[in-house]
């Protein structure tokens, strides 16, 4: 999306006529022309990047340097020049004497990579289990104000710049917020909930009919507003109301606001799209299609998913061979059979790019008929699949491999709990009533034995992966128990990742790695793969220095070395797991995002590598119902096996779709996190205040972050808002920060109580609902003497 051409940003600020015939001084510089930008980028005088605005301090923003090793700082709303969070912008770095000091660039908090906090078999199908991250994806260490310096000052500087051009408006320009009546004005003021977005002038004609006379009735009404313009002579944008959502603080209006703000298409699928699917239901596989496929319907094949899952896109099989080895199969729903390339269904799926998993529901990438019926590997039903079948030793050594289109008939739909029970009770004879309906052709003990064999092989595969240098950074995931009728949270708990999860994950990883090698061999210029760059070196160096100061032995030389370091216990008391989670969070910050890409674009194989998994090639093949990237991979695989239509894809088209999938995946994760925050905010309001121990994760000069142990959530506590605190003092030596809190004595004759706050300090907090709907705060409780 190109911005209209405008005068050079370096030209003197122009004046514009206002409506009364006077003149108004420009607030923002005019944008450069596209030609000036092009020349500036070529000469290295300008820098292009994605804008990140600090959610806790909206006047601070950053874009990465060209080599992504440091950040350029944008000081204040004027420097952003009407760009919004996520926009691709061009920045001109200011003269050195205008740079800032004492401004710490934000540490990225990216854990979107396999081997991190989103295992392959998490599946995100369940609407009752969802992931909880930090309060906002970026984690900012920027309590102190940034200050200008003189050109003679000899100190550490932060490159500082200003936006001169908007290349692409990634932000949807749609925001949720509240209307405020302005007497004697022909417009109302719209205040966005997201403080990174400016206030917006909305014409009174756009407001509810009785807004002027009864504006107090709308104080708690949530609206969606779309920014239509933002003139250079105003701090305020202009916009139009798009929709009245309902009462702030209610789950559905708040959810719709989140979806709209992040540009998630949650509309119903059109009749045109649905016309692409079979009409004769229940659908049966045509005989001519059966003849083209390997018939696996008599094999013992089953699914393992969250109990609430309805879109089952992967199944497993395992049978022992006479020679003592095993035939193991991964069978994935053949979505590409139904989603034909370049029809309207394909166009909608490619645009949505991913299903979006909220706490209470799923926004599907594909119509429910396809997700939950035609493609879902439901038990006791013939279904079309793509299979990878290996001959494998008990130790996990692969002897042979087969890819192909197939037909399966799942004999049972196991939940993770069922598979876990089988693993934990290897000698038990399970009764029929303990499991879901089972195909009588395959007795329960056959299924049980297959699960045990898969578990045994998976343990060996997992051990080999980690001894070979893989990394996994696990972080807490918050799960909710919802009322079936109201869908309100009745309880919550930290999700336990168990052996049954690990079993499925290992074989999904194995299938994805095998598929990556296969399609890259066949299509070296077209393969859609997934790479994970190594962590940012500068941030790793800073973290290494901090760990050294804390006396923690961490080796960042490779993914495997980091994994081994994290496996070393941090003490042998009841808080060792909490300390490990805090350390894992710290190690996640330098990590970069995993990205889809087309092999014909990058060329150099060394950058294809997946850092966390420590494999040269990786892709996504195992979830085509919920990820469009997997559908492209299925088409490549089918074409390579001469069992699919001609691809007709170019390198540029695959790369464009890969980039779109990356963007949609990032947005989807953020929306999922916001949904979790929303529900936990409701839970705190309904069931709080909630007391818990917490462990300090990071210390700034006026605040500190804690991990609330009972719920696995992370919150920031601001010293200035702590009740009963007499004073506080910040001290920093090297990279180690420490706060000394001085508590006012409870009795006059007693001395003040000092409390030292540093990484790993245990504190007591209380989670309490805020006055702002759906928000909650962590309140620091006065320490007892045993904590000091």
Q: Which residues does 679 contact at the CB level (< 8 Å), separation at least 6? A: 251, 359, 360, 480, 489, 492
pLDDT, tens digit (0-9, with 9 covering 90-100), for 298-355: 999 999 999 989 999 999 999 999 999 999 999 999 999 999 999 999 999 999 999 9
Q: Averaged over 762-788, what is the pLDDT?
A: 86
Reported confidence tier of residue 568, pLDDT bands at 50, 70, 90: confident
**Rounded CA gap, 257 and 222, in Å?**
8
The torsion defined by the Cα of 596, 332, 632 and 404, in degrees rounded to 10, comes to 120
3-state secondary structure of 327: strand
Is residue 13 scored above 60 in pLDDT? Answer: no
Residue 169 CB-density burial (10 A; 0-12 exposed, 13-18 middle, 19+ buried): middle
pLDDT of residue 771: 83
Tokens at residue 310, please?
Answer: 């309805």
Reported confidence tier of residue 405, pLDDT bands at 50, 70, 90: very high
What whole-number percentage of the chain has pLDDT above 70? 89
Is residue 47 scored above 90 in pLDDT? Answer: yes
Q: Which residues of the chain form CATH 2.40.50.140?
A: 688-780
Per the model's pLDDT, the better-predicted residue between 135 and 585 turns out to be 585
Q: Does domain 172-248 have CATH number 2.40.50.700?
A: yes
Of 139, 23, 35, 13, which Cα lies nearest the Cα of 90? Answer: 35
Reported confidence tier of residue 22, pLDDT bands at 50, 70, 90: very low
Is residue 146 scored above 90 in pLDDT? Answer: no
314 is in an annotated binding site: yes
Q: Which of 68-72, 127-131, 378-382, 549-553 has the lowest mean pLDDT?
A: 127-131
Q: Which run of H or E residues covers position 667?
A: helix 651-687
Q: Averaged over 734-750, what is the pLDDT?
A: 88
Reported confidence tier of residue 645, pLDDT bands at 50, 70, 90: low
pLDDT of residue 459: 97
Is residue 512 scored above 70 in pLDDT? Answer: yes
Is residue 151 scored above 60 in pLDDT? Answer: no
205 is in an annotated binding site: no
pLDDT, tens digit (0-9, with 9 covering 90-100), for 444-498: 999 999 999 999 999 999 999 999 999 999 888 899 999 888 889 999 999 999 9
Q: Which of 61-70, 147-156, 274-283, 354-363 has the lowest mean pLDDT?
A: 147-156
**Rounded CA gap, 409 and 385, in Å?**
10
Q: Which of 37-41, 465-469, 645-649 has the lowest mean pLDDT?
A: 645-649
Q: What is the DSSP letter of 615?
A: B
If you classify domain 688-780 with CATH, what class do you get? mainly beta
Reported confidence tier of residue 787, pLDDT bands at 50, 70, 90: low
The torsion defined by the Cα of 164, 166, 170 and 174, in degrees rounded to 10, comes to 90
Residue 206 CB-density burial (10 A; 0-12 exposed, 13-18 middle, 19+ buried): middle
Reported confidence tier of residue 101, pLDDT bands at 50, 70, 90: low
Is residue 141 scored above 60 in pLDDT? Answer: no
Q: Which run of H or E residues covers position 515?
A: helix 499-522
List residues bridging with 99 in a β-sheet: none
Q: Which residues of the chain form CATH 2.40.50.700?
A: 172-248
pLDDT of residue 65: 86
What whole-number percentage of the chain has pLDDT above 90? 75
DSSP string spanning 140-163? ----SPPEE--TT--S--B-BEEE
Tally of residues, the chain: 788
Is residue 117 scored above 80 in pLDDT? Answer: no
Contact (Cβ atoms closer than 8 angstroms) between residue 285 and residue 381? no
- Bond into 689 cis (ω within 30): yes
**Rounded CA gap, 82 and 231, in Å?**
9
Mean pLDDT of the chain: 88
pLDDT of residue 156: 55
């Amino acid at each position: 999306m190109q911005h209209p051409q405008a005068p050079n940003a370096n030209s003197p600020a122009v004046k514009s006529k206002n409506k009364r015939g006077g003149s108004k001084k420009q607030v923002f510089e005019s944008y450069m022309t596209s030609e000036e930008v092009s020349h500036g980028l070529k000469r290295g005088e300008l820098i292009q990047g994605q804008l990140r605005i600090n959610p806790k301090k909206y006047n601070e923003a950053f874009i990465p340097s060209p080599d992504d090793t440091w950040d350029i700082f944008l000081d204040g709303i004027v420097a952003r020049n009407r760009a919004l969070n996520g926009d691709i912008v061009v920045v001109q770095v200011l003269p050195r004497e205008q740079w800032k000091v004492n401004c710490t660039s934000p540490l990225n908090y990216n854990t979107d990579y396999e081997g991190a906090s989103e295992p392959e078999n998490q599946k995100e199908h369940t609407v009752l289990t969802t992931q909880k991250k930090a309060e906002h994806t970026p984690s900012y260490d920027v309590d102190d104000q940034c200050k200008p310096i003189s050109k003679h000052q000899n100190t550490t500087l932060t490159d500082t710049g200003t936006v001169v051009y908007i290349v692409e408006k990634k932000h949807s320009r749609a925001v949720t917020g509240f209307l405020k009546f302005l007497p004697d004005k022909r417009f109302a003021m719209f205040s966005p909930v997201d403080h990174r977005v400016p206030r917006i002038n909305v014409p009174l004609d756009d407001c509810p009919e009785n807004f002027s006379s009864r504006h107090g009735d709308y104080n708690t009404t949530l609206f969606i507003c779309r920014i239509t313009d933002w003139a250079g002579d105003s701090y305020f944008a202009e916009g139009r109301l798009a929709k009245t959502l309902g009462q702030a603080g209610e789950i559905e209006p708040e959810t719709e606001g989140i979806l709209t703000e992040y540009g998630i298409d949650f509309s119903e699928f059109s009749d045109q799209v649905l016309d692409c699917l079979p009409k004769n239901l229940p659908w049966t596989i045509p005989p001519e299609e059966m003849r083209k496929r390997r018939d696996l319907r008599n094999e013992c094949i089953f699914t393992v998913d969250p109990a609430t899952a309805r879109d089952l896109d992967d199944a497993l099989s395992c049978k022992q061979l006479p020679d003592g080895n095993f035939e193991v199969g991964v069978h994935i729903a053949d979505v590409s059979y139904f989603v034909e390339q370049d029809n309207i269904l394909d166009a909608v799926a490619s645009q949505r790019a991913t299903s979006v998993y909220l706490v209470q529901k799923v926004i599907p990438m594909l119509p429910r008929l396809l997700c939950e019926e035609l493609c879902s590997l439901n038990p006791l039903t013939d279904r079309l699949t793509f299979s990878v079948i290996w001959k494998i030793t008990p130790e996990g050594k692969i002897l042979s491999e087969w890819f192909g289109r197939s037909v399966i008939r799942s004999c049972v739909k196991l939940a993770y709990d069922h598979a876990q029970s089988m693993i934990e009770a290897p000698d038990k004879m399970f009764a029929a009533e303990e499991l879901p309906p089972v195909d009588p052709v395959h007795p329960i003990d056959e299924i049980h034995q297959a699960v045990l064999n898969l578990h045994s092989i998976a343990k060996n595969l997992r051990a080999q992966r980690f001894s070979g240098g893989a990394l996994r950074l696990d972080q807490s995931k918050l799960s909710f128990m919802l009322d079936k009728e109201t869908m309100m949270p009745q309880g919550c708990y930290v999700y336990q990742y168990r052996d049954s999860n690990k079993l499925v994950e290992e074989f999904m990883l194995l299938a994805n790695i095998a598929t990556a090698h296969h399609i890259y061999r066949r299509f070296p210029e077209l393969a859609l793969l997934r790479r994970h760059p190594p962590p940012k070196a500068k941030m790793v160096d800073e973290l290494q220095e901090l760990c050294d100061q804390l006396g923690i032995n961490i080796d960042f030389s490779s993914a495997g070395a980091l994994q081994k370091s994290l496996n070393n216990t941090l003490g042998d008391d009841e808080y060792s797991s909490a300390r490990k989670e805090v350390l894992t969070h710290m190690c996640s910050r330098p990590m970069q995002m995993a990205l889809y890409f087309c092999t014909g674009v990058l060329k150099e194989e060394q950058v294809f590598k997946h850092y966390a998994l420590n494999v040269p090639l990786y892709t996504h093949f195992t979830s085509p119902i919920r990820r469009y990237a997997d559908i492209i991979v299925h088409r490549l695989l089918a074409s390579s096996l001469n069992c699919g239509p001609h691809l007709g894809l170019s390198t540029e088209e695959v790369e464009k779709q890969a980039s779109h999938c990356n963007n949609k995946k990032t947005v989807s994760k953020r929306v999922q996190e916001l949904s979790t925050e929303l529900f936990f905010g409701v839970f705190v309001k309904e069931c709080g205040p909630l007391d818990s121990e917490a462990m300090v994760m990071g210390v700034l000069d006026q605040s500190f972050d804690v991990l609330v142990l009972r719920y696995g959530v992370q919150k920031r506590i601001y010293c200035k808002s702590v009740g009963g605190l007499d004073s506080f003092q910040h001290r920093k030596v090297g990279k180690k920060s420490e706060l000394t809190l001085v508590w006012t004595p409870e009795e006059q004759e007693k001395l003040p109580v000092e409390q030292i706050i540093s990484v790993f300090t245990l504190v007591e907090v209380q989670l309490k609902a805020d006055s702002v709907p759906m928000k909650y705060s962590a309140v620091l409780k006065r320490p007892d003497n045993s904590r000091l």
